[in-house]
Amino acid sequence: MEIAKKPFGITSKGEEATLYTITNDNGMTVSFTDYGANIVSILVPDASGKVVDVCLGYDDIAGYEKNGPGFGSFIGRHANRIGGARFELNGKVYELDKNDGENNLHGGFTGYNKFMYTAEIYEADDTISIEFSRLSPHMEQGFPGNLDVSVTYSVTQANELVIEYSAVSDRDTIVNLTNHCYFNLAGHNAGSILDHKVWIKANQFTPTTADLIPTGELRDVSGTPMDFRVAKKVGQDIDANYEPLIIGKGYDHNYVLDIKGTEVEKVGELIEEKSGRRMEIFTDLPGMQLYTGNFLNGEKGKDGAVYNKRAGICFETQFFPNSCNIKSFPSCVLKAGKQFESVTIYKFSTI
């Protein structure tokens, strides 16, 4: 295994960004940048050994400075939506950016994917890791507490991309961290993901209002187009006449994962049959947002690619959206001095 680094451009603020590339001995190469702790590319072999990049993204730092879709992005302090862009904690109401209608989405106008991070590299026999860390100061984005936050990406010889989140705050706060990588196992520039097969270990999902804020209901997937307990093609039911799909313009929903939550468990699988590539998803978090790139519209990406509607698919492990305002949901509150830790793994193989 080896790791290399090279300049990745200079931000509009004059910051020098670096691209870090980890390569294992089994055909997998993953690149990251210290600007935003973003995943830039994931190259993995297909069933015949052909290697392509399966992660949507940009060629340079300028793309990641804009990055409306959030390609490869480290998301925080709170991933997904907070209704009314406000929450109450310990009797105090905190007002946040209204960057999604009247709601807060992915932390606000300046998400964690728009900051520079300190990088530390760790090497072992079968794993190379890179830790990106920074201090998110008290009231950044409107959230309380000075938060020491880090995301560590590891590439293993087993073709796993391991993502470890860690955070400690000096005040009670809320924390919901995820990654917003868009996958296309046929290749980042291969077009639609509707023929990909998906399996999700979830008996329920959280239906929403028209502005994609969960109602608080946990709805059974049985007999609905939301059921992925048996693997099926994304396109099979995506345009069904079913209100949640109409609201989301496709899949853009949080699944209630059927796991204990005390250890990392397999919760999903993505398969592209023509290439034979498979990606398994593991996490210890209670929820996962399935998003089918419904709002991509001519986004210019790397290698001259143009990403249109449903060109990529996201599996965002998380606490449920708006859990800070819905007491029946698992809590994303982090108490002062307590350490938040979570692991998500994307494992690549062939069928």
User: Of 78, 106, 180, 253, which residue is the catalytic one?
Assistant: 180
Could you give the CA distance from residue 161 to residue 305 in angstroms, rounded to a whole number? 24
Residue 46: partners with Cβ closer than 8 Å, 6 or more residues away: 52, 275, 276, 277, 350
78 carries an active-site annotation: no
What is the per-residue DSSP string for 166-195? EEEESS-EE-B-EE---B-TT-TTS---TT
Which sign, positive or negative, has the C-alpha torsion 207, 209, 211, 214? negative
Beta bridge partners of 339: 168
Annotated active-site residue in 131, 269, 272, 316: 316
Burial class, 134, CB count within 10 angstroms (exposed 0-12 / middle 13-18 / buried 19+)? middle
Torsion from C-alpha of 127, 272, 151, 97, nearest 10 degrees: 170
Cβ-contact 186, 272 below 8 angstroms = yes
Contact 130, 156 (CB under 8 A): no
**How far is residue 342 CA from its own chain's centroid?**
13
Does residue 188 carry a catalytic annotation?
Answer: no
User: 67-100 burial, b for 16+ CB within 10 Å, e for fewer?
Assistant: bebbbbbbbbbbbbbbbbbbbebeeeebebbbbb
CA distance 238 to 216: 23
Catalytic residues: 180, 316
